[in-house]
Amino acid sequence: MATRTPSVYEGSFWSYMPEGVQIGGTALLLCIGMQHGIMGLTPLLASDYARFLKPKDMKIGIFAIGFIPQIFCFGVMGGLGIWFGVRLGEPNPGVYIVFLLGIFGALFTMLTQVRINITNIYSGSLSLSNFFENIFKFKPGRRFWVVVTGVAAMVLMLGGIVNHLETVMTFQGVFLLAWAAILVTDAVIVKRFLKIGPGYYEERQRNLYKWNPVGVVSLVVASGLGTIAALGFLGTFLQSTAAFLAAVLASILTVVIAIATKGKYYIKAEDRHIEREDYIA
């Protein structure tokens, strides 16, 4: 149906360029930095599904969960979305899908939004519940946090956060890339190479300290400096590479603090009954 609809843009799809968009290395880096917000969420979703993999399916699961869906969603579907936007002169899928499919498009849009927002509210309420319970011992229940998450999302939407999506995604990318760098550095360098801390990840609260400076300090400092860079206070180049800067700083700080503390704050008591496959180092 879209192919039969007259195109708003008369030129070639591959040569289309929105008004006011810069071309060049700096613009490309800014675009990459913005996309880190999405790319940072991708491994979180993949790891959530990967929990259900059996050990014998690990190799095929790497591609089935951590590679193919991302290529399809962000590559194929992303390109298709751009094509629709250029041809119909409308960047909002919620508008052009309804325009093309009518009432069925409206139903499809509502169903997809309900599905993804239920997932988002569930994840958000779970994160808030865990944070306030562990840090402040505040336990109002999951229903309370579901309401808080939903209300906060609606307030942000009504406040026009969509108009600042580029900035929000850049800051999200700074935080998530720093966090991912800490996880990778801790697993590969600190645990495997330097042999600091336990060779596994402990999840039982009774065996853990409330804070581990290796992760907390690294994340706060790297995210803070990355945010300052993203705001442009450290120059144009670092503004466009703020997420990379945050990741590098996070990795360095993770190693330095782990060596300085000698892994003291990883666990209070070591569990002797850890399964062999749970060890990463």
Residue for token pair 């590098």:
248
Asked if 61 and 67 touch (Cβ cutoff 8 Å), the reply is no
For residue range 205-245, what is the model confidence (pLDDT) as tens digits?
A: 777 787 889 999 999 999 999 999 988 888 878 887 888 89
Residue 165 lies in a domain: yes
One DSSP character per residue, 220-276 reads HHHHHHHHHHHTTTT-HHHHHTHHHHHHHHHHHHHHHHHHHHTTTTS-SS--S---G
Q: Classify residue 213: in a domain, yes or no.
A: yes
Domain assignment present for residue 220? The answer is yes
The sign of the dihedral angle between the CA atoms of 207, 211, 216, 218 is: negative
Mean pLDDT for each consecutive 10-residue tract of the chain (281 residues)?
Answer: 64 71 70 69 73 77 79 80 80 82 88 85 87 85 90 88 78 86 91 85 77 92 92 83 90 95 83 70 62
Q: Is residue 52 part of a domain?
A: no
Q: Which domain holds residue 169?
A: 161-280
Residue 176, domain member (yes or no): yes
pLDDT for 182 equals 93
pLDDT of residue 69: 80
Region for 279 from its dihedrals, namely left if φ exceeds 0, alpha if ψ lies in -120 to 50, beta otherwise: beta
Residue 138 forms part of a structural domain: no
**Crossing angle of helices 77-88/93-101, nearest 10°?**
70
Say how many domains are in the chain: 1
- Per-residue tokens: 228: 């300052």
Place of tokens 């399964």: 275
* Domain presence at residue 253: yes
Cβ(4)–Cβ(84) below 8 Å? no
Has residue 80 been placed in a domain? no
